[in-house]
Structure 1
Amino acid sequence: MENVAMDVEAQIENKNGGNDSFSIFENVNLPVTLKFDNVVYKIKPKKPRGWFQIETKAQEEKTILKGLTGVVKPGEMLAMLGPSGSGKTTLLTALGGRLSIGKLTGEITYNDKPFSKGVKRSTGFVTQDDVLYPALLRLPNSMTRQEKVKQAEAVVTQLGLARCKNSIIGGMFLRGISGGERKRVSIGQEILINPSLLFLDEPTSGLDSTTAQRIVSVLWELAQGGRTVVMTIHQPSSRLFYMFDKILLLSEGNPLYYGRGSNVMDYFASVGYSPSLAMNPSDFLLDIANGVASDESMKQDDIKEALVGAYKTNLVDNLQAEIREHGDQVNSSDSRDRNKNVGDWPTTWWQQFCVLLERGLKERRHDSFSGLKVGQILVVAFLCGLLWWKSDISHLQDQIGLLFFASSFWGFFPLFQAIFTFPQERRMLEKERSSGMYKLSSYFMSRVVVDLPMELVLPTIFVVITYWMAGLNPNPRNFFLTLFGLLFNVLVSGGLGLALGAVVMDLKSATTLGSVIMLAFLLAGGYYVQHVPPFVSWIKYISIGNYAYKLLVLAQYKADDTYPCGADGRSVCYVGDFGAIKNIGLDGEAMSVLALFLMLVGYRLIAYVALMRVGKAKQR
């Protein structure tokens, strides 16, 4: 399924007009001073192991961040520079309270307070991969729907997105808006809530210099409104470089410089490093961060070590003094206001559910009712109808073969459709949950409800076509019982798929595990093997196919029904005595329904519990 999201405006309503009373550049409600002191981050690498590989020694911890210190005040824009792998994104994630693994030490404060739900909901975080979501979920419930729409329209206009406001974002397999427009949509979604803090990961990556200049200019104006803006950036042009108030230069997790952007060249010249010719400051900084200097006689490691030593000698004391200087600037009343209602969600559970349901319907309908899937079901349905054409009760073995095939096909098909759900949405779910946009229960229930019509329409079409072509019992009661049994099977199998996808969160592993489980259920379903050895007979009691197949058989036959038998076909035998049917029995209908119902609830409960670990960041 393509990851197709609508932009800020199209996700809520298609309306015209604007709201001049709202500006994305207006002053922020509560300025926030961000301070981080001696931040160290360590993580133990996880290496994949084979089935028979034994780990002989414990993995050593790898230090990603090595004692980073700094202060970013309201109205300032901090740019973190450094080579790939220097720790820029890790530090940004830590400052945004979104690290979920590893060991983070040091102190990170927001107006001298630790990270909290209030901080999280007043923070904008623009990721590099542009995961987008509806605006209605972030704006507070104190605003009416019309006010939210107007505010979204104002953001669309002020970011220059009016031309594409009704366009789809697009994805890997679907062409949408341009890269620069995607970045502006990402920024627009975050500034809708008028955040005090704004974090951005590589907001100019992959963009031409003009588009990058436009985006950084917008961010600079946002900072002038009293916001604290922190971003990572790889190699900005000289025009962009001089727009940054502060620069943090990293090399292999070590700080090489922290201070005013206008002073950076003078600082490195003072410690013996200056470019041999006029060049872009960011190019020069990346060179020395990589250990490349004009003095080619020095080794790279020696250059890096010397720069780290110079930082500790010349800059650390000044940074510590700056942290202490701003330690008493937080107004206590602002702190109370800031933490008032920190436990409240911006919208009610029902509003969250409705918005997510609407989004799910827009996204899933294209995938669930694609021409390929509809065509697949129609072909299978008509093929079954032709193969079992008018196979009345005199062809009893053929009829129960059709019932078993139907239970098996509609066990595998919905399972593999559902397995893809959560792994494909993992990035979006992680970002949305870490932003405190909605409760997991509202997301999960919207996903379950939106899948119901998608899951039930195609099997209903299959039954309507195949049932009458195959000559099954024409009584309406038998038809609807057959339809009920098959749809029950679909819902339970879909629930198993959701659970496997949520627990494993890896498509290849989940599909492999799903295949093994369903094949085990299939073999224990009572059709292929009628004399199952006792030591594996327990499988049938947890087999979806076993109960679904039994319900389909019970929907067609009663024990006292008769069919032609004997060598000449003139004798009459009871259906209940037929070998394949006698093995599964024509009783226990209530037990089969109860077992499937418990599986229906149980599998979805497992999926919900597994999803609780997604998007949870360590809060300091």
Structure 2
Amino acid sequence: MMPPEHETRITGCPAIVLANNRTDNISVYAESIGSASNVSPCLDDEMPIQEKPTPVRFSVLRESLRPVTLRFEDVAYSINLRTTKDSFLCTSAAEAKPTRTILTGVSGIVRPGELLSMLGPSGSGKTTLLTALAGRLPGKVSGTITYNGQPFSSSMKRKTGFVSQDDVLYPHLTVLETLTFAALLRLPKKLTKEEKIEQAELIIIELGLTRCRNSVVGGPLFGGVSGGERKRVSIGQEMLVNPSLLLLDEPTSGLDSTTAQRIVATLRGLAHGGRTVIMTIHQPSSRLYRMFDKVVVLSEGCPIYSGNAGRVIEYFGSLGFVPGFNFMNPADFLLDLANGVAPDTKHDDQHESHGRPDHHEDQNSIKQSLISSYRKNLYPAVKDEIHRSCRDAVRPATGPSPSRTCENQWTTSWWMQFKVLLERGLKERKHESYSCLRIFQVMSVSILSGLLWWHSDTSHIQDQVGLLFFFSIFWGFFPMFSAIFTFPQERPMLTRERSSGMYKLSSYYFARMAGDLPMELVLPTIFVIVTYWMGGLKPSIVNFTLTLLIILFNVLVAQGLGLALGAILMEVKQATTLASVTMLVFLLASGYYIQHIPPFIAWLKYISFSHYCYKLLVGVQYSENELYECGRGGHCRVLDFPAINYLGIDNMVWDVVALAVMFVGYRVLAYVALRMGQPK
């Protein structure tokens, strides 16, 4: 316990002081915990100077901020454990416990102007609870979660900001570009483009990102802004819409103490601006803890405390749990209790207790005791506060509910979403599509193949046919394996932005397809220009143009197959393995290596896009009356050459139709797979 003369300030308000004298009657204290949380938020000028954040100004969206009171009562969540036949050693355990309980009976209330922090050990359910409060948790969540007395809706989703623990950002975009594109997508239609850009500039100033506004965000493969700046960019993306409810998962993870304090001070200032802010945090310092208005402490998914942050020492002291020394960090004290470690034995008997067989039993008994005490003492007060706030809430004026009138509306039109996503995609992907390594790969293969087939002619028709087959295979493998990575890599970004209601999946998909044209077709064009003329193929502009168009069409078909495989499996290793097997089958069934395929398996060539591309390339290159040297001085028709005669190039219209069907079919399949795996 702290000395009697020490006073704890609540939420930084000098007018509100808690004396640390012990409360013997727990029930009387529990009844007062709800009223203590009704204290008005501190004004900026009442906060300590080192914790006073810059007030956030939202000149163009100030009228859109509508306070949100979040209430959650008896929230529980369980997941099904997957059982496999291979794990026969664990079958009995899996059958005994088919589900795992993540959350049990968590309750609380957060009002506008309050900063709620969720504390607990790793695996205690903090992130699960935060995701449930954000309306993003898959499966069924039992209990009641309301926003101003209403369930979660699409309009509420657009008033909610959610910042995940991992910063999901495009690495090649600058800070300004990142926030500008987010503003163009998320801000309402009534604002002009200039006003949206102004809002992005304002966020940069308010979050202290002016110094790095033109720096790239960076990623794991190359440097960019610092970790704290990345976190502020993530927060800035959500603050663009001036959210009424802001939820953050571990916003101080991986940051130093000073940067973490700046982040939390910023969040506290946002809360005091009239927003409801909820965050999870693993192990805050005492400076950070003093900024919290309320805390929820979880132990194995069960609450052991929910209420005012400044009264935790007093509450647990009334239960007989007193900090080991006077100036102990309250967060460390709470985490010890959540782990079942009593503070009076933690330092003295730590080494001996780890060796006792009943050590875990002691921890479990402490956890169960704290959970039971919460249910007996705090839970009635928290529940009474929730119900009392529901009764005291001001009823909305008569008329159509905003949540219903805006249920199916998007902040921007489909065409605007398409244009912004296309521009953003081109800016981001040009660094990958035109990287030095990729250009070197294509150019080295192009020059090498041109040298190997240097000025070949019909006297070496087998070599020429081999070059055409190489065209179809190389520009089947290369674009397909590049496209496999597309959706698995963009899945975190797509999930986050779609969950925020930024755009429709169709606008993203069509913008992606349109952006592929300049990104994926430039290098094949350069490849054909170099290799075609070096390889000695027919020196005709018409033949060259048709050859180029066929290869570009083949590139788009192969890319569509790669997109479909990546979208269906969403796992790079599995998709790569399946693509390797698929391309091997297409390679063997294309008609170059094997010309007499058994009838029962000959159907494979009809599903191989390489087969159709190969046929078209050969058909364009050679005319019906063209001859080649066969035998000693003899001449034979090119179409009678065995490898060409087997292909049957007399009717190429159906080959074009087959490639067109594959082009459309693969992309439709990819879109359907994305639609099934993404939120509505």
Q: TM-score range by the shorter chain?
A: over 0.9
Conserved in 1, the CA contact under 8 Å of 2:294 and 2:308? yes
Higher Rg = 2
Aligned residue number for residue 185 of structure 1? 233
Cα distance in structure 2, aligned partners of 1:207 and 1:437:
28
CA change 1:494–1:125 in 2 (3 A) is same
| Among 430, 433, 442, the residue aligned to 2:498 | 433
The answer to which structure, 1 or 2, has the higher relative contact order (CA under 8 A, 6+ apart) is 1
* 1:286 is aligned to 2:335: yes
CA change 1:258–1:599 in 2 (3 A) is same
Q: Alpha-carbon deviation of 1:615?
A: 3.8
Conserved in 2, the CA contact under 8 Å of 1:112 and 1:330? no
- Counterpart amino acid of residue 435 in structure 2: S
Cα distance in structure 2, aligned partners of 1:501 and 1:196:
37
Cα distance in structure 1, aligned partners of 2:135 and 2:224:
31
* 1:315 is aligned to 2:378: yes
Aligned residue number for residue 276 of structure 1? 324
Q: Alpha-carbon deviation of 1:480?
A: 1.0
CA change 1:49–1:221 in 2 (3 A) is farther
Deviations 1:517-564 (A, max 9, x none): 011011000111111112211111110111010010011012322111
| Among 644, 648, 673, the residue aligned to 1:585 | 648
* 1:85 is aligned to 2:99: no
Conserved in 2, the CA contact under 8 Å of 1:34 and 1:72? yes
* 1:409 is aligned to 2:474: yes
Q: Alpha-carbon deviation of 1:362?
A: 1.0
| Among 352, 365, 381, the residue aligned to 2:417 | 352
* 1:113 is aligned to 2:113: no
Q: Alpha-carbon deviation of 1:48?
A: 7.2
Q: Alpha-carbon deviation of 1:463?
A: 0.8
SS of 2:198 mapped into structure 1: helix
Conserved in 1, the CA contact under 8 Å of 2:465 and 2:618? yes
Aligned residue number for residue 494 of structure 1? 559
Aligned residue number for residue 144 of structure 1? 192
Conserved in 2, the CA contact under 8 Å of 1:28 and 1:226? no
Cα distance in structure 1, aligned partners of 2:85 and 2:518:
41
Cα distance in structure 1, aligned partners of 2:59 and 2:82:
46
Cα distance in structure 2, aligned partners of 1:105 and 1:257:
20
Which runs of structure 2 are paired with 1:245-264 in the superposition (5 Å)?
245-264=293-312
Aligned residue number for residue 122 of structure 1? 159
- Counterpart amino acid of residue 29 in structure 1: L
Cα distance in structure 1, aligned partners of 2:544 and 2:316:
82
Cα distance in structure 1, aligned partners of 2:248 and 2:634:
81
Q: Alpha-carbon deviation of 1:52?
A: 12
Cα distance in structure 2, aligned partners of 1:596 and 1:80:
55
SS of 2:313 mapped into structure 1: helix
Cα distance in structure 1, aligned partners of 2:74 and 2:278:
18
| Among 296, 304, 308, the residue aligned to 2:367 | 304
Aligned residue number for residue 609 of structure 2? 544
* 1:341 is aligned to 2:406: yes
Q: Alpha-carbon deviation of 1:314?
A: 0.4
- Counterpart amino acid of residue 305 in structure 1: Q
Which runs of structure 2 are paired with 1:99-248 in the superposition (5 Å)?
99-100=137-138, 102-132=139-169, 134-135=181-182, 136-248=184-296
Q: Alpha-carbon deviation of 1:22?
A: 3.0
Aligned residue number for residue 22 of structure 2? none
CA change 1:176–1:31 in 2 (3 A) is same
Aligned residue number for residue 485 of structure 1? 550
Aligned residue number for residue 622 of structure 2? 557
Q: Alpha-carbon deviation of 1:342?
A: 2.8
| Among 58, 65, 70, the residue aligned to 1:34 | 70
Conserved in 1, the CA contact under 8 Å of 2:56 and 2:269? no
Cα distance in structure 1, aligned partners of 2:90 and 2:521:
46
SS of 2:224 mapped into structure 1: coil
Q: Alpha-carbon deviation of 1:75?
A: 1.2
Aligned residue number for residue 675 of structure 2? 612
Deviations 1:118-175 (A, max 9, x none): 0100100111111235321111111001111111111111111111111111110111
Cα distance in structure 2, aligned partners of 1:55 and 1:307:
33
* 1:390 is aligned to 2:426: no
Conserved in 1, the CA contact under 8 Å of 2:119 and 2:281? yes
Conserved in 2, the CA contact under 8 Å of 1:137 and 1:352? yes
Cα distance in structure 2, aligned partners of 1:472 and 1:80:
70
* 1:513 is aligned to 2:513: no
- Counterpart amino acid of residue 323 in structure 1: I
Aligned residue number for residue 7 of structure 1? none
Conserved in 1, the CA contact under 8 Å of 2:164 and 2:249? yes
Cα distance in structure 1, aligned partners of 2:57 and 2:271:
19
Cα distance in structure 1, aligned partners of 2:278 and 2:56:
28
Cα distance in structure 1, aligned partners of 2:596 and 2:526:
35
Conserved in 2, the CA contact under 8 Å of 1:238 and 1:282? yes
SS of 1:193 mapped into structure 2: coil
- Counterpart amino acid of residue 440 in structure 2: G
SS of 1:109 mapped into structure 2: strand
Seq. identity, %: 59
Conserved in 2, the CA contact under 8 Å of 1:382 and 1:466? yes
Deviations 1:211-256 (A, max 9, x none): 1111111111111122111100111111211211111000110101
Aligned residue number for residue 13 of structure 1? none
Deviates most, 67-76 or 57-66: 57-66
Q: Alpha-carbon deviation of 1:338?
A: 4.5
Number of residue pairs aligned between Structure 1 and Structure 2: 596
TM-score normalised to structure 2 length: 0.85
SS of 1:510 mapped into structure 2: helix
Cα distance in structure 2, aligned partners of 1:430 and 1:337:
25
CA change 1:49–1:208 in 2 (3 A) is farther
Cα distance in structure 2, aligned partners of 1:139 and 1:25:
9
- Counterpart amino acid of residue 262 in structure 2: R
CA change 1:540–1:52 in 2 (3 A) is farther
Structure 1 unmatched ranges of 5 or more: 1-18
Cα distance in structure 1, aligned partners of 2:261 and 2:440:
48
Conserved in 2, the CA contact under 8 Å of 1:27 and 1:226? no
Which runs of structure 2 are paired with 1:47-62 in the superposition (5 Å)?
60-62=98-100
Cα distance in structure 2, aligned partners of 1:20 and 1:114:
28
| Among 591, 595, 599, the residue aligned to 1:530 | 595
SS of 2:343 mapped into structure 1: coil
- Counterpart amino acid of residue 551 in structure 1: L
CA change 1:338–1:586 in 2 (3 A) is closer
Cα distance in structure 1, aligned partners of 2:64 and 2:429:
37
Q: Alpha-carbon deviation of 1:340?
A: 3.1
Cα distance in structure 2, aligned partners of 1:229 and 1:615:
26
Conserved in 2, the CA contact under 8 Å of 1:96 and 1:199? yes
Deviates most, 47-56 or 399-408: 47-56
CA change 1:484–1:54 in 2 (3 A) is farther
- Counterpart amino acid of residue 332 in structure 1: P
Cα distance in structure 2, aligned partners of 1:126 and 1:432:
11
Cα distance in structure 1, aligned partners of 2:246 and 2:640:
73
SS of 2:397 mapped into structure 1: helix
CA change 1:415–1:181 in 2 (3 A) is same
Aligned residue number for residue 6 of structure 1? none
CA change 1:316–1:431 in 2 (3 A) is same
Deviations 1:476-532 (A, max 9, x none): 111111111111111100000000011100000000000000110110001111111
SS of 1:426 mapped into structure 2: helix
